[in-house]
């Protein structure tokens, strides 16, 4: 079993796809990130220009293209920093 040098945790069952770590030039990684509660549209810049849609059920849907997985993780970190519960993350990759 492989061990991580950084954490010492077992790595069994971890899947890595190094070939798809970044989007191809003709591919956008579009995500829908649903969070609990309503955010105002003034948060658009803080969320890298994603579209903010307030839903009737009280959730906020953030939608838009992100460059890669690192950008997605950075955005999810911002959601965490707000202290608002994350409801879901959906990837909707599209090809140009």
Separation between Cα atoms, residue 82 and residue 57, nearest integer Å: 20
Output the pLDDT for position 57. 96
pLDDT band at 7 (very low <50, low <70, confident <90, very high): very low
Largest pairwise CA distance in the chain: 48
CB 16 within 8 A of CB 59: no
- Give the chain's domains with CATH numbers: 23-95 (3.30.70.1150)
Q: pLDDT tens digits, residue range 24-64?
A: 444 568 999 999 999 877 887 888 788 999 999 999 999 99
**Given the structure tokens 């903010």, which residue do they identify?**
52
Between the alpha carbon of residue 6 and those of residues 10, 11, 26, 31, the distances in Å are 11, 11, 35, 29
């Amino acid at each position: 079993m492989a061990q991580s040098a950084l954490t010492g945790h077992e790595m069994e069952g971890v899947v890595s796809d190094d070939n798809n770590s970044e989007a191809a030039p003709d591919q956008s990684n579009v995500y829908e990130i649903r969070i609990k509660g309503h955010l105002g549209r003034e948060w658009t810049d803080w969320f890298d220009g994603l579209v903010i849609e307030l839903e009737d059920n009280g959730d906020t849907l953030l939608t838009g293209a992100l460059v890669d997985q690192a950008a997605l993780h950075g955005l999810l970190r911002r959601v965490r920093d707000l202290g608002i519960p994350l409801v879901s993350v959906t990837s909707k990759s599209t090809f140009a």
